[in-house]
């Protein structure tokens, strides 16, 4: 087992020890959060939903006019190389970052960037973020930006909105914050999408003030494929309080039940039957789908 200090980070074609992995203080990402990124899971030697993540990365970069000179195959190979170098093939989270690049001087003007973008890949052994027995939420005083301010379709590196909400959750002693949109409807949690269950129907907020998460889309698609009713619509906070079940979805959290919101117990205060069914669907899919890491089985000490 490699120590954290020994882990290798991919930066622009080089695999560097964590202690040596650096980007310039003039990098647009460091100065302004000017980047696009993806969080990707690896299960059993397979990179899950890799194409969907790369497609979103390219779409976000295009929206921000960040030129990505690497094709999908090149990015795949860079991810594979990082995983092999660190012997990480399961319970692994990959953060793939493309920044606008290094500026010649400080300032937000994209024209200050000289040369190409910066590519960073960080692979870490990381189990799901939250306890599967359930999490508690508190409604944040902040609001998610609407599309006329900043499109949620752009998966960018400026996460101050989420960080400020997370600070409120931390002060309240709960695991995560719930954010509303500017109309007062539920948007999402600070780092995950939200679903609720009422009377056997699954509902989730419209992707107008929340990220159209890849795990969110997977849950909608697979649940409907199982004949479960799923609707996307505006949801009020009162509906969350009165829900039979609430659960969060995301690459980092996977599927996690919500047992309390603003001090109100949700349902029975424990994972409900629909949440457990959706979790089972997710485990089944992640257990047999994904892009295989070449030579993962041979190289992995856990699978030797």
Structure confidence by residue, pLDDT tens digits, 20-62: 999 999 999 999 999 999 999 999 999 999 999 999 999 999 9
CA dist., res. 84 & res. 303, Å (int): 13
Long-range contacts of 67-75 (CB under 8 A, 24+ apart): 67/116, 67/117, 68/98, 68/117, 69/116, 69/117, 70/119, 75/119
Within the chain, all domains assigned CATH 3.20.10.10 are found at: 135-271
The whole-number average pLDDT for the span 204-219 is: 95
Mapped to the 3 state alphabet, what secondary structure does the chain carry? CCCHHHCEEEECCEEEEHHHCCCCCCEHHHHHCCEEEEEEEEECCEECCHHHHHHHHHHHHHHCCCCCCCCHHHHHHHHHHHHHHHCCCCCEEEEEEEECCEECCCCCCHHHECCCCEEEEEEEECCCCCCCCCEEEEEEEEECCCCCCCCCCCCECCCHHHHHHHHHHHHHCCCEEEEECCCCCEEEECCEEEEEEECCEEEECCCCCCCCCHHHHHHHHHHHHCCCCEEECCCCHHHHHHCCEEEEEECCCEEEEEEEECCEECCCCCCCHHHHHHHHHHHHHHHHCCEECCCHHHHCHHHC
pLDDT tens readout for residues 51-91? 999 999 999 999 999 999 999 999 999 999 999 999 999 99
Q: Is the pTM of this model over 0.85?
A: yes
Long-range contacts of 221-224 (CB under 8 A, 24+ apart): 222/281, 222/282, 222/285, 223/278, 223/281
- The CATH architecture to which 135-271 belongs is Alpha-Beta Barrel (3.20)
Q: What would the CATH number be for the domain defined by 4-125?
A: 3.30.470.10
The whole-number average pLDDT for the span 255-259 is: 97
The whole-number average pLDDT for the span 244-262 is: 97
Per-residue pLDDT at 295: 84
Per-residue pLDDT at 303: 35
Within the chain, all domains assigned CATH 3.30.470.10 are found at: 4-125
Per-residue pLDDT at 302: 42
Residue 165: pLDDT over 50: yes
Single out the residue of 56, 97, 102 nearest to residue 78, CA to CA: 97
Per-residue pLDDT at 6: 78
CA dist., res. 130 & res. 256, Å (int): 7
Residue 289: pLDDT over 60: yes
CA dist., res. 147 & res. 81, Å (int): 37
Per-residue pLDDT at 301: 42
CA dist., res. 132 & res. 271, Å (int): 8
């Amino acid at each position: 087992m490699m120590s954290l200090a020994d882990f290798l980070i991919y930066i622009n074609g080089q695999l560097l020890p964590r202690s040596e992995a650096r980007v310039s203080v003039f990098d647009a990402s460091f100065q302004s959060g000017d980047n696009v990124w993806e969080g990707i899971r690896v299960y059993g030697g397979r990179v899950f939903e890799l194409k969907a993540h790369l497609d979103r990365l390219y779409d976000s970069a295009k929206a921000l006019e960040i030129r990505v000179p690497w094709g999908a195959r090149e990015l795949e190979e860079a991810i594979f190389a990082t995983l092999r170098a660190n012997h990480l093939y399961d319970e692994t989270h990959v953060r793939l970052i493309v920044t606008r690049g290094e500026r010649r001087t400080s300032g937000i003007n994209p024209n200050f960037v000289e040369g190409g973008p910066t590519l960073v890949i960080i692979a870490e052994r990381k189990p799901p973020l939250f306890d599967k027995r359930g999490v508690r939420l508190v409604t944040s005083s902040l609001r998610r930006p609407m599309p006329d301010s900043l499109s949620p379709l752009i998966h960018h590196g400026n996460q101050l909105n989420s960080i400020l909400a997370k600070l409120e959750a931390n002060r309240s002693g709960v695991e995560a914050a719930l954010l509303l949109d500017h109309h007062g409807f539920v948007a999402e949690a600070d780092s995950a999408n939200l679903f609720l269950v009422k009377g056997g129907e699954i509902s989730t907020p419209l992707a107008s003030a929340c990220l159209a998460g890849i795990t969110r889309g997977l849950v909608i698609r697979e649940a409907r494929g199982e004949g479960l009713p799923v609707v996307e619509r505006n949801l009020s906070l009162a509906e969350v309080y009165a829900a039979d079940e609430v659960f969060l979805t995301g690459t980092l959290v996977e599927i996690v039940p919500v047992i309390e919101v603003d001090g109100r117990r949700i349902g029975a205060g424990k994972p409900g039957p629909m949440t457990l069914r959706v979790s089972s669907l997710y485990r089944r899919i992640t257990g047999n789908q994904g892009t295989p890491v070449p030579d993962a089985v041979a190289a992995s000490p856990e699978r030797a």
